[in-house]
Amino acid sequence: MSVTTIQIQEETLEELKNLRKYKRQTYNELINNLIKLFKEAKTANQYDEFLHKVQQKKMRELWDNDEDEEWEKA
């Protein structure tokens, strides 16, 4: 396994320190956990967007109808 050095701002380093689960957690472990969380969130967001698109047609059907417009005029 090869290892590399990256440069980050001191503020970012402090944020990373605050995110550690335990004091001796390595930054490599932390960054890998962050990557995993980001991928999971991205996948969940794609699923939510898919459901939203599927539901749009039905919601228009339910909300854009003459009966509802009559109630608005009452």
Query: Considering the domain boundaries, does residue 42 fall inside one?
Result: yes
Q: How many domains are contained in the chain? A: 1
Query: Considering the domain boundaries, does residue 69 fall inside one?
Result: yes
Q: Write out the two tokens for 48.
A: 């939510």
Q: Indicate the pLDDT class of residue 41, thresholds 50, 70 and 90.
A: confident
Letter string b/e over residues 30-46, b meaning 16 or more CB atoms within 10 A of that residue's CB: eeeeeeeeeeeeeeeee
pLDDT for the residue 67: 67
The rounded mean pLDDT for the chain is 84
Query: Considering the domain boundaries, does residue 1 fall inside one?
Result: no
Query: Considering the domain boundaries, does residue 4 fall inside one?
Result: no
Query: Considering the domain boundaries, does residue 61 fall inside one?
Result: yes
Question: Which structural domain, as residue segments, surrounds residue 69?
Answer: 10-73
